[in-house]
Structure 1
Amino acid sequence: MRLWTGPEPTQIAFSHDGLAVYGARSAEEEAADALLLRAAVRTGAELVVVPRAEPPLQDGAGAVLRYSTAG
């Protein structure tokens, strides 16, 4: 699976046009696994690796997304 990303780690979308919502002025298409890992590291997110078959995930990746603007 491939995704599109802008210069900021939170700018991720399924399409080039989808990045416009995030104000991305430039975009690159990348492999989803590498892009999601880099975004997690750059935003200070927690990464939890689970056994490959538990739970079965479409395209091999899953996420629980929680976002807060509180400092």
Structure 2
Amino acid sequence: MTVFLYNHQHYFPLSTNIMHSLATVALGAFAIIFFCAALIVGLIVLKKYQTEKDRLKQRAKKKPKNEN
């Protein structure tokens, strides 16, 4: 009596490997896009912080000092 043991790759030799690789590529692409978006948002926030800091510095220079 012969017993044949098959794993899932025997029945679907290419489809599961392709699906796993597509999922990996999609996950990697999502991670790259998310990282780039976070980087862009971080740079925008940093730029706004810097301009606000400069604006407050200029305002402090223009404001006359109270000498009592």
What TM-score range do you get, normalising by the shorter chain? under 0.3
The structure where helix makes up a greater share of residues is 2
* Larger-Rg structure: 2
Higher percent of residues as strand: 1
How high is the TM-score relative to the length of structure 2?
Answer: 0.22
TM-score relative to the length of structure 1: 0.21
